[in-house]
Structure 1
Amino acid sequence: MSVMSVRLNDEVTAQLEALAKATGRTRSFLAGQAIEDYLAREAWQIVEIEQAIKEADADDFISADEMSGLFKQLGSSRHGN
């Protein structure tokens, strides 16, 4: 395990301290968890974007009828305006 210093503004530090007290965790633990969550989310997003680019390059798009059905299912009959 490695150690890293991070500069935080006073507001973020206060929020982190309050959360640490409320949860009985250390600030270091919470900061580490936040970084892990961020990295996982960003990695997921990159994978999804890369997959969408592959689909677009392959002209794999939803049809207009499928899109209209999706909008109706979501409660909106208007789209593209």
Structure 2
Amino acid sequence: MTAFTVRIPDDAAEKLDSLAAKLDRSRSYVAAKAIEEFIARENWQLAEIEAGLIEARRGDFASEAEVEAVISKYIRPE
């Protein structure tokens, strides 16, 4: 396991300490979990963006009917 120093604002450190206490875990454990989750979320999002760009470069876009079907789920008829 690698150790390194990260500088964070004082209020974030206080919140981290409070959360660690509530979870009965160390500050280091909670910070490591937060970093792991951030990395996983960012990697997923970037992979989705890259896949979308590949589709766009191929010209693989949603049809007008597909777009309307999605929009109709969220718009109430008046």
**What TM-score do the two structures reach when normalised by structure 2?**
0.91
Number of residue pairs aligned between Structure 1 and Structure 2: 77
Any unmatched runs of 5+ in structure 2?
Answer: none
Higher helix share: 2
| AA matched with 1:63 | S
- The structural deviation recorded for 1:28 is 0.1
Task: Name the residue aligned to 1:53.
Answer: 53
Runs (5+) with no aligned partner, structure 1:
none
Q: What are the equivalent positions in structure 2 for 1:1-81 lying under 5 Å apart? A: 1-76=1-76
- Aligned to 2:7, the other structure's residue is in SS state coil
Which has the higher relative contact order, 1 or 2, with Cα contacts under 8 A spaced 6 or more apart?
2
For residues 76 and 63 of structure 2, what CA distance do their matches in structure 1 show?
Answer: 17
Query: Cα RMSD over matched residues?
Result: 1.2
The Cα shift of 1:70 comes to: 1.0
**Structure 1 stretches of at least 4 aligned residues deviating more than 6 Å after TM superposition:** none
